[in-house]
Amino acid sequence: MLKMTDEALAAAEEEARTTPLEDFDVSRAERFAADVHRPFFARLRREAPVHLCRESEFGPYWSISSYEQIMKVDTDHRRFSSLGGISLGERNPQFNPRSFISEDAPVHPKWRKPAMPAVGPDRLGDLEALMRRRIAAVMDELPIGEEFNWVERVSIEITTQMLATLFDFPWEERHKLPYWSDVVTSNPGMGNNSLDEMERRRILLECLSAFQGLWAARKDGPPAMDFISLMAQHPDTKDFGDDPFTLLGNLMLLIVGGNDTTRNSISGGVWALNRHPEQYDRLTADPSLIPNMVSEIIRWQTPLAYMRRTALEDVEIGGRTIREGDKVIMWYVSGNRDEAKFEEADDFDIARKNARNHISFGYGVHRCMGNRVAEMQLRLVWEEILKRFSRVEVVGAPVRVMSNFVLGYEELPVVLHR
């Protein structure tokens, strides 16, 4: 199976070398699903770090592929707006729930702030012991010496438990959270057409109704640190209760934000260490490398390939002129492999000195809110793995997600060794 992957990669390298730059369209989901996207970005970084694709299924868009230029766009929120949405596709005007990731100031900070304490530094101490116990319980149930899908039994389960905790969601119904999240990301705007639009809306309205019930029960309840209580009781967000679309949009953002990203980092770490067995040996010899390895996993995996902005005025950048209204895609997946920033950038190096400088969490005012929870979660996962298993061995090729936005795994077959 690995041979097939190598052949596909060689074909992609040839295609990336011979295709004229003006015909480059790096948004094609099937290249990410086959893990052959990198040669295209490598050429863009070398020859056209600010590049206009004139024609694609999402219309024209600019690709920003170098670390340096991505930082310029991400920190320039006055000229590069989030209001047009954060994915390549256009938003559907008839079904367009608002959320703070797709807002600019003054709405963005006003809606972001109330939810922050649920994932802030003060909360992490309380969450750590609880999450460790839950992660340990999931791991204690796993079979030794028998093949199973790591994504389903470990990555999804642990991420779901964390989300249910952050929302204080009814425990027995927690599996609805990743289900709803998958429905949101089964989105043609992200290169995935797997769900009929009407069916998608029906499921999301079901989700809305569940959250409306929790919101009503908590808005006048005692203060609490879960996302729902925090927002329902805060003067700046409490009116979401009267505005179903805004309620749905913001709560879905908090679910989706933490779901695929953390899940795919948990799976990505196992895959990375199997691709680089010398790093696995290094880790078992020195577990104090775990915190740095967590950053390296998040860099190497880059769970979200990009974020989009829309230019509010004409902007000169990298010798090109982006016009007002143009779509601008910051390809984090490329910036994280930029040799000008990361030495031997395609290597997975758990002791990499500047691993923490990755841009997988974005950078400017929209920088990921859940980054510390995600890092803590990954640290705990690896601490608990090392206590129990000498190796998590990948025994077959991973099946990847069909998306140009979420970079991750549907299946990762493994066998555990004591």
Tell which positions 36-75 bind ligand HEM, by CB under 6 A: 74
Q: Which is nearer to ligand HEM, 16 or 255 (CB)?
A: 255
Among 327, 303, 296, 341, smallest CA distance to 73 is for 327
Q: How far is the CB of 364 from ligand HEM (least distance, A)?
A: 5
List the one residue from 53, 88, 204, 254 that touches ligand HEM (CB under 6 A): 254
Here the tokens at position 348 are 């997975």
Q: Which of the stretches 42-50, 207-215, 250-258, 273-281 binds ligand HEM when contact is defined by CB under 6 A?
A: 250-258
Q: Which is nearer to ligand HEM, 101 or 273 (CB)?
A: 101
Q: Which of the stretches 3-11, 266-274, 300-308, 401-409 binds ligand HEM when contact is defined by CB under 6 A?
A: 300-308
Q: How far is the CB of 315 from ligand HEM (least distance, A)?
A: 17
Count the residues in the chain. Answer: 418
Q: How far apart are CA 293 and CA 297, in angstroms?
A: 6
Q: Are 370 and 83 in contact (CB under 8 A)?
A: no
Asked if 374 touches ligand HEM (CB under 6 A), the answer is yes
Site size toward ligand HEM, by CB under 6 A: 29
Report how far apart, in Å, the C-alpha atoms of 194 and of each of 96, 191, 411 are.
19, 9, 17
Q: How far is the CB of 1 from ligand HEM (least distance, A)?
A: 27
List the one residue from 266, 368, 385, 415 that touches ligand HEM (CB under 6 A): 368
Dihedral of the alpha carbons of 48, 63, 339, 43, in degrees to the nearest 10: -50
Binding mask 347-366 for ligand HEM (x = CB under 6 A): -------------xxxxx-x
Q: Which is nearer to ligand HEM, 275 or 372 (CB)?
A: 372
Q: Are 213 and 203 in contact (CB under 8 A)?
A: no
The DSSP call for residue 417 is E
Exposed / middle / buried, residue 47 (Cβ in 10 Å: 0-12, 13-18, 19+) = exposed
Report how far apart, in Å, the C-alpha atoms of 104 and of each of 244, 250, 309 are.
20, 14, 11
Q: How far apart are CA 100 and CA 249, in angstroms?
A: 8
Binding mask 86-125 for ligand HEM (x = CB under 6 A): --------------xx----------x------x------
Q: Are 192 and 270 in contact (CB under 8 A)?
A: no
Task: Tally Cβ neighbours within 10 Å of residue 56.
Answer: 15
Dihedral of the alpha carbons of 21, 50, 310, 41, in degrees to the nearest 10: 60
Q: Which is nearer to ligand HEM, 131 or 385 (CB)?
A: 131
Asked if 369 touches ligand HEM (CB under 6 A), the answer is yes
List the one residue from 257, 268, 398, 408 that touches ligand HEM (CB under 6 A): 257
Q: What angle do CA 266, 163, 382 make, to 5 degrees?
A: 25
Q: Which is nearer to ligand HEM, 118 or 416 (CB)?
A: 118
Q: Are strands 61-64 and 327-331 parallel, antiparallel or unpaired?
A: parallel
Residue linked to tokens 């895609």:
329
Q: How far is the CB of 374 from ligand HEM (least distance, A)?
A: 4
- DSSP string over 150-197: HIIIIIIHHHHHHHHHHHT--GGGTTHHHHHHHHHH--GGGT---S-H
Q: How far is the CB of 146 from ligand HEM (least distance, A)?
A: 29
Q: Which is nearer to ligand HEM, 5 or 81 (CB)?
A: 81
Binding mask 182-211 for ligand HEM (x = CB under 6 A): ------------------------------
- The residue type of 377 is Q
List the one residue from 69, 261, 334, 404 that touches ligand HEM (CB under 6 A): 261
Q: How far is the CB of 20 from ligand HEM (least distance, A)?
A: 31
Q: Which is nearer to ligand HEM, 49 or 362 (CB)?
A: 362
Q: Which is nearer to ligand HEM, 335 or 362 (CB)?
A: 362
Asked if 231 touches ligand HEM (CB under 6 A), the answer is no
Q: How far apart are CA 312 and CA 105, in angstroms?
A: 14
- Positions that interact with ligand HEM (CB under 6 A): 74, 100-101, 112, 119, 166, 253-254, 257-258, 261-262, 265, 298, 303-304, 307, 360-364, 366-370, 373-374
